[in-house]
Amino acid sequence: MAATSTFTPFCTTLSTGVLYTLNGAATGGAYCYHFNVPSESKTTAMLVNIAANNDMRLTVYRHEDDDSLSLVGQSNNAGNISEEVIAMTESGNYYWYMEALTADGSPFSFATVLNTSFDAYELNDTAALATALPDKFNTVIGNMDSATDIDYYNFTAIRGQDVRFNLTNEIGSNHDEWLLEYNNGSVWQQLNTGASANYQLEGIPVNYTLSVRARPNPIYTVNPSNTYKLTIGSTVRTSSNHSVEGEGSVLRVPLSATPSGYLTTQAYDNLTWSIRLADSTGHGLEGETVNFTYWLPSTDYVTDSVVTDSNGYASGIANLGGCFSNATSLEHYTYNNNVKTWWTTDYASGFWEINIPNGFASDELGVTYVTLGHICSHNYIRSE
């Protein structure tokens, strides 16, 4: 039954999700059964309970519209080890094709399980199928579609940069619904999960590949609607190019006119801000979240969250909304065409901050508590 052969209707149709038993297999025999996939699914076809001294090979084919057969996958483990083919399958007709390499008539079982509650990173159920994550700081939202599902991920530190990773709940889950494991080079080592369980690798060689996997905690029943969040990738180590400015036309209030303290940043309506983040090698770090927060008496805390671009930059424009003054300046002046003009200014005083919430030592990387003046109005007094 070659992958390009013409379809011959000799395969009995069976249902998915049912464990069937085949008796009387003989060495050299071939056994074919048909099953239907009604919609896009993660399909697991398997042969299990193979008796000692028996050896089976499993191949899964798709029946194409032109009546040809295309290969979906094959499993050919040695001896009586169970066979399993896992694949993402479109709707259509498929076949178990089972070959008895060695058989004495002992029964074995076979089945296919369809899962439609898969995440965007499938197929990644084995180390060989691990999702290779890009050179950035990655945030992965995943789920488990069955109790046997395991999600594998690889991240390669192409510059030998510091790397960090963490696994937490995302939606609807118990705090320890998933287990996180890290390949230390020889074995899979189980690690803690949760917001405070952050792991970091430093001093690693160029092109080092970090391999982790998430799997269901067997003490819970798997709910495919629940999701986990895996963060993995380059560690942010430095920040630079901080800039937070109001409009260039702002008539600034000087320190001498603000007894309550200097208004470092002053704006009428908008704050334009930016920052650059880099990894331990100085390379701009993509994918890291930056929070820009400002506080004013009328707005309380307002936060804009922006993810850094491919050069490590995050930027935005924060609209301060309506201006409700809580202070009036002392008299101050400006010069325009050699005319000295005196003013008082009504303003609201607050502050702004830039924070990297996922970063280690985030307070050192961002900018904290910079005074802000929201300028409401200037009141003309006299000109000289």
Asked if residue 203 and residue 257 are part of one domain, the reply reads no
Same-domain check for residues 29 and 58: yes
In a domain, 2, yes or no: no
Residue 91 and residue 132 in one domain? no
- Report angle CA 307, 265, 309 to the nearest 5 degrees: 15
Q: Does residue 223 form part of some domain?
A: yes
Alpha helices in 256-377 (DSSP H): 362-365
Cβ atoms within 10 A of the Cβ of 169, count?
Answer: 18
Please list the pLDDT of the chain residue by residue as tens digits (384 residues): 444 444 445 688 999 999 999 999 999 999 999 999 999 888 999 999 999 999 999 999 999 988 889 999 999 999 999 999 988 899 999 999 999 999 999 999 999 999 888 888 888 888 988 999 999 999 999 988 888 889 999 999 999 999 999 999 876 666 789 999 999 988 999 999 988 889 999 999 999 999 999 999 999 888 888 899 999 999 999 999 999 999 999 999 999 999 878 999 999 999 999 999 999 999 999 999 999 999 999 888 999 999 999 999 999 999 999 999 999 999 999 988 889 999 999 999 999 999 998 766 544 688 999 999 999 999 999 998
Those residues whose C-beta lies under 8 Å from the C-beta of residue 138, and which sit 6 or more positions away, are: 155, 230, 231, 232, 233, 287
Kindly state whether residues 259 and 355 are assigned to the same domain. Answer: yes
Q: Is residue 5 part of a domain?
A: no
Query: Is residue 252 in a domain?
Result: yes
Are 293 and 377 members of one domain? yes
Statement to judge: residues 261 and 196 lie in one domain: no
**In this structure, are residues 312 and 280 in contact, taking their beta carbons and an 8 Å threshold?**
no
**What single-letter DSSP state applies at residue 365?**
H
Report the DSSP beta bridge partners of residue 139.
231
Q: What is the pLDDT of residue 172?
A: 64
Same domain, 265 and 344: yes
Side-chain-side CA neighbours of 381 within 13 Å: the count stands at 13
115 backbone dihedrals φ, ψ, rounded to 5°: -125, 125
Q: Would you call 363 helix, strand, or coil by DSSP?
A: helix
Among 175, 205, 234, the domain-final residue is: 234
Residue 312 — left, alpha, or beta (φ > 0 → left; ψ -120 to 50 → alpha)? Answer: left
CB 277 within 8 A of CB 288: yes
DSSP labels for 2-67? -TTPBP-S-SEE--TT--EEE---BTT-EEEEEEEE-SSEEEEEEEE-PPTT-EEEEEEEEE-TTS
Distance CA 88, CA 86 (A): 7
Residue 356 domain flag:
yes
Q: Tell how strand 30-37 and strand 12-13 pair up.
A: parallel
Are residues 242 and 378 both part of a single domain? yes
pLDDT at 120: 83
- Asked if 173 and 248 count as a contact pair (C-beta separation under 8 A), the reply is no
- Note whether 367 and 287 are same-domain residues: yes
CATH assignment at residue 210: 2.60.120.380
State which of 186, 216, 234 marks the end of a domain.
Answer: 234
Q: Are residues 277 and 197 in the same domain?
A: no
**4 domain-assigned:** no
Q: Domain containing 56 — which CATH number?
A: 2.60.120.1050
Q: Does residue 121 lie within any of the structural domains?
A: no
Radius of gyration of the chain (CA): 31
Within a domain: 120: no
* 350 and 301 both lie in a single domain: yes
Give the chain's domain count: 3
Q: Which of 234, 266, 287 is the last residue of a domain?
A: 234
Residue 95's identity, in one-letter code, is Y
Task: Tell me the three state secondary structure of residue 127.
Answer: helix
Query: Helix, strand or coil for residue 329?
Result: coil
Same domain, 246 and 364: yes
Residue owning tokens 């320190």: 255
As a dihedral over the C-alpha atoms of residue 116, residue 57, residue 150, residue 359, rounded to 10 degrees, the angle is -110
Residue 200 domain boundaries: 127-234
Question: Which pLDDT does position 260 carry in this prediction?
Answer: 79
